[in-house]
Amino acid sequence: MTDNYDASHITVLEGLTPVRERPAMYIGSTDTRGLHHLVYEVVDNSIDEALAGFCKHIVIIINPNGTVSVEDDGRGIPVDIMPKQNKSALEVVMTVLHAGGKFDKNTYQVSGGLHGVGVSVVNALSTRLTAEVFRDGNIYSMVFGKGLLLQALSCRPETDAEYLQRQRRLDKEGQAKETTTGTRITFYPDGSIFETTEFDYDVLAHRFRELAYLNKGLEIQIEDHRTGDSDTFCYQGGLREFVTHLNEGKELLHPDPIYVDKSDDVNKIEVEVALQYNDTYGEILYTYVNSVNTREGGTHLEGFRSALTRAINNSAHANKHLKEYISVRGEDVREGLTAVISVKIANPQFEGQTKMRLGNSNVKGLVDSMMYQALTEFFEENPKVIAAIAKKSLDTANAREAARRAKELARRKTSLDMSGLPGKLADCSERDPAKGEIYIVEGDSAGGSAKQGRDRKFQAILPLRGKILNVEKALEHKALKNAEIQTLITAIGAGYGEKFDAERARYHHIVIMTDADVDGAHIRILLLTFFYRFMKPLVEMGYIYIAQPPLFRIAKGKQEKYVYTEEDMRLAIAEYGEKGISVQRYKGLGEMNAGQLWNTTMNPEFRILKQVRIEDASYANEIFEKLMGDDVMPRKDFIKRHAGEVKNLDI
C-alpha cells in the first residue's frame, strides 16, 4: 500500500464490468437468492409490457442444460438503429446500464423491473445469453457472453413450424405470424460468480404465482423440462383471489374479501387493496409497488394502516359497536387481518439497493385518503362486517390489557443488567452483540456439555427444558405465560412482536442446537416458528442459525473423523478400511463430551452453521401455517406429497 494516492490509482470500469466486479450491488447476493433474481429481472421486463397493456402471456422454461428461457407476447424489444449510439436498440438494452423503455414515459407509464438495467445485469452475469425478438414475421437475434457481444444482430424469417410452436406456447392460435410479436431471452448463469447454478422450481413458481395475482388476467406459465413439472397461473380475481388463497383453511369473519380499486389521474397513482379478517391472532400483510414486493413496507403501508384504524374506529362508533370513550389501536385492528396492497405510481422512490421500502412522501396521504373513503363507504353498506371486525378488535384490545403485566415483565428483563437475565443462561463476557453468540440447546445434559466446551468470551448457552409452546396455535398472552418463551425473550433482550427492536438484540448469532433425531427436529421447528412469529426481523436479518452436529464418529486406532452424512460415513470407512474400525452414530448432543462438542459443532474454525433466511415471505408464511397450524388436513396432504423425499427416517 502506498501513501502516494493520486489519479493513477483511480480505476474506471467500462460497460458491464462493474456488474461482474460487484454483482451483489446489483442483485443483492450471489447465492440462490441472487441466482433466482436473474430470472425475476427478465420476467420484470415482460411484466412492464403487461402493465402497459401489451402482454397477456409469459412463459418461463427451465431447460435440461441449466439455461432458463423467458418468452412473452409483448411488442418485442426494438431492433432498429439508435442514431446516437450507432447500434441496434436491442444491443444497447442488453449491454448498457440504465438503457431501456422504462425511462421514456410515453413507452411505460409505470414500471416495476428496471427495464434495460435488469436485463443488462443478467447479461453481465451469464456465460451466454441469447436474445430473440419476434417482429413482422421475422426472428431477430443476438448472442452475448459475460456482457460482451458474441454474435451481431441477425434476421431471418420465422418458419411456420417455429411459429406454430410459439402459437401453442403463448395461446395465439388464429393470429397472423406478422402481427404476433414478442421477446425470448435464454441465459446460462455464470458458475464462477454464483455459488450454485441450480434453479429451484418451487421458489420460481411461488414468485410467478404472486405476480399473476398482482396482474389480474395475465397468464404466467412455468415449465421445468428437467422434471416435467409445470404450472399455469392466471387469476381474473387478482388480489381478491390472492387474499382468498392466503386465508385458505381459516375461519373467516366475513365471507368475501373487501376490495378497493381507486385511481387518481392528477397525482398519477393507482391503489388496489384486498383485505379479509379471520379468527387467527396474527397479521398477514404484503405490499407491492408496480409489482415489486416492498418487504419493508413504506409510505403506502403507513397510509393504509392509518386509514384502516381510523375507518374502523369511526364506523364502529357510528354503529354503536364501540362506546364513545373507547378506541381501538392499530395493533388491535390488525389482529386476524390478511391484506394485500398494490400501488402503481410513475416514479417510485425505493429506499436501498434492494427496493424493499417505498419512500415517496406524498403516497402516504394519497393512500390514506383513498382507502379511508372507500372503507367508510363499505362499512356503511355492510354493517354486519364492521360489527364482526369491531368485536374482534375490542376482544384483542382486552387481551392486550390482560397481557400488559407479562409484557412489562418482559420489557424490564431486556436490559443488559445481569440481574434481569434468566438464571439458566450461561452468558458470555462479550458485550458487542455483533460478536456475541447464544446457543439454544435441548435439555440440561447437552447444556452441560455445551457450557463446559464453549468459549466463554463470546459464546452464551441457554438450555431449554423440553419442547416450547407451539405459538402458531396459541394466543399471544397465553404464549407469553410459557416459561421457556419468557426465558427466550428475556435472554435475547429485544422484546417481541410489533415492539421488537433488533438493535437491542444481545446477540447477532442465535444458534439452535438440537439432537439429530425426530424430537430434536420438532424442537427446532417449534423454535423457528417462535422466531418467525415473535421476532421476525431476526430471521430477515440473518441472525438465526442452525448448528450441524456430526452424525457419525469414525475411529480406527488413533485416527478419528467426524462426518455429517451417511455418504461421508461410507467414504470414511472405505478410506480407513473396515477391519478394526469403530462407527458411532450420535443421536443426542449429550453423547458427546465437551471437547468433542467444541471441536465438531461450536469451534468457528471447523463448525458448520446453516443460516436461516426468507426466500419467499408468502410461501414461508404458508408453510408455517400448514405445518404448525390447527388445520390437520393441509399438514396431512403436505406429508403425503413429500413423503418420498425423506432421506433419514427415524423410527
Q: Which residues are catalytic?
A: 442, 515, 517, 519
Q: For the chain, give me the number of helices (H) and strands (E)?
A: 22, 25
- Which residue matches cell numbers 413504506? 298
- Would you state the cell numbers that stand for residue 100, as one nine-digit string? 431501456
- State the Cα angle at 38 between 47 and 225, rounded to 5°: 85
- Using H for helix, E for strand and C for coil, what is the string for 486-533? HHHHHHHCCCCHHHCCHHHCCCCEEEEECCCCHHHHHHHHHHHHHHHH
Pairing between β-strand 182-189 and β-strand 552-556 as defined by DSSP bridges: unpaired
Strand partners of residue 584: 553
Q: 458: helix, coil or strand? A: coil
Place of cell 364482526: 388
- What are 555's strand-pairing partners? 560, 582
Beta bridge partners of 138: 135, 157
Q: Do the Cβ atoms of 465 and 520 come closer than 8 Å?
A: no
Cell of 303: 397510509
Residue 89: CA count within 13 A, CB half-sphere: 10
Rounded to 10 degrees, the C-alpha dihedral 381/387/392/397 comes to 100
| Strands 219-224 and 182-189, bridge-based pairing | unpaired
Beta carbons within 8 Å of 495's beta carbon, 6+ residues apart: 410, 411, 414, 489, 501, 504
Are 146 and 124 in contact, with CB atoms under 8 Å apart?
Answer: yes
Phi, psi of 148 (to 5 degrees): -105, 145
Kind plus residue range of the DSSP H or E element containing 289: strand 284-289
Which residues on adjacent β-strands are paired with residue 585? 552
Neighbours of 155 (CB within 10 A): 12
User: What is residue 259's three-state secondary structure?
Assistant: strand
* 585: its cell numbers: 452414530
- 117 three-state secondary structure: helix
DSSP string for residues in 302-340: HHHHHHHHHHHHHHHHHTTSS-TT----HHHHTTTEEEE
Sole residue written with cell 420476467: 43
The strand pairing partners of 219, in sequence order, are: 57
> What are the Cα distances from residue 646, in Å, to 105, 338, 641?
52, 33, 11
